[in-house]
Structure 1
């Protein structure tokens, strides 16, 4: 496969990763929930594993240094052809670059940033590793959504960064837009208004595909996690919002395919 065949269109969510305090316990939780197996990833920032399904990479989990007290959260990475240029644009457009740009071994070059609303995300310039290799199956990231107070100003930031076409979801009830690249929806922004959790603020949410939302939500509880929003029907299918034992929030979804 040539690099051009595998290249992700800049702005496409291409990877999700999680930094935790207890790597072994976290692997156990997600292994039991999603059937993930694990293999070592680049170690230059400390212990790090890649989650595999059927031998294909779907997500990453790393261990925080004991003295780092960061919020435990899944981070969405957006593909870029040039992490340094993206970091420059992020700064120029009112975002903040917190980590990098730096090389992750042979795998690629990355930066972690926050948008003007404070939501943390990554940019990933693929080298040997271009991102998740499997999509659609249970246990894979299915969708990424920015949950923020209102979408209009933050949509302009992401448009300036990656040239998305922004399409409002027409509804009197809620403020939602979909980000499109080359005519295809790749992510969404949801304006939660005053319902935005104060303790979390603006954040990117990872949706993981499951075969049965009720069963998976129950499994989260059994494994020591929390169900934050009970299974419900929404536009994308059936969904439930949950947290792992360290508090990382994510959504279980059974998509309407």
Structure 2
């Protein structure tokens, strides 16, 4: 288990889920990941922060009843200036749907989408520093963009945060790894027509688990479903699952764990 320090701009620093049933959603993730919860900023409406050993790992809020938005996990990228980054999002062909706005004394945020329509947040830290612990069961460990093709959207993210972009060595895969100071922080995966029509381009959050197969069975027992069965991947054993409201995420037992 490692604790987070300051996040370099462009680094995924937080993940948040907006759901309809806040209590039932908390129960699902408490059972699956061992999360406990504390109240979040009042400015965000009904909102809680998930904790492991008292350290913050993720957020869950309640969708307003009149907002017909998809229930999905959203990654937040660190920024030193949320307003300036929001302007770059707009100028590079993205949209800003929420903010920038202050979340009390926690920080300043905006939620936008890239030119392909994938939703993500930006977070300017103040009192709340973002995900505080990594590498243990129930913590977010990776974020991957699933999109049609990576070339144009890769340029968008490069313009936002000056990532170093490393393409996959294989001609069979349309994949880019985003790096900051040489360290991989996220990936972009072009899947062409395999992109689900119901979801479109979207970010996928990976959560570390102690046992991928056992966790996938537990998802089913808790009322969720398995989207892609457990399988061995390049970084460990993983499965794609969804919670009872349909929020899709990936669970992984990393090889280095």
Shared fold (TM-score greater than 0.5)? yes
Partner in structure 1 of residue 50 of structure 2: 51
State the Cα RMSD in Å: 0.9
For residues 237 and 117 of structure 1, the distance between their equivalents in structure 2, rounded to whole angstroms, comes to 28
Moved over 4 A (4+): none
Residue 173 (structure 1) shift: 2.2
Partner in structure 1 of residue 178 of structure 2: 179
Partner in structure 2 of residue 146 of structure 1: 145
For residues 131 and 175 of structure 2, the distance between their equivalents in structure 1, rounded to whole angstroms, comes to 26
For residues 7 and 25 of structure 1, the distance between their equivalents in structure 2, rounded to whole angstroms, comes to 33
Partner in structure 1 of residue 233 of structure 2: 234
- Structure 2 unmatched ranges of 5 or more: none
Alignment length (residue pairs): 253
Residue 69 (structure 1) shift: 1.3
User: Please, what TM-score do these two structures have when normalized by structure 1?
Assistant: 0.97
1:75-154 aligned within 5 A = 75-154=74-153
Q: What SS does structure 2 have at the residue aligned with 1:44?
A: helix
Residue 124 (structure 1) shift: 0.2
For residues 214 and 172 of structure 2, the distance between their equivalents in structure 1, rounded to whole angstroms, comes to 30
For residues 206 and 112 of structure 2, the distance between their equivalents in structure 1, rounded to whole angstroms, comes to 20
Higher mean Cα deviation, 170-179 or 128-137?
A: 170-179
Residue 186 (structure 1) shift: 0.3
1:7-18 aligned within 5 A = 7-18=6-17
For residues 246 and 106 of structure 2, the distance between their equivalents in structure 1, rounded to whole angstroms, comes to 28
1:154-201 CA distance string (max 9 Å, x none): 000000000000001111321111000011000000011111111110
- Structure 1 unmatched ranges of 5 or more: none
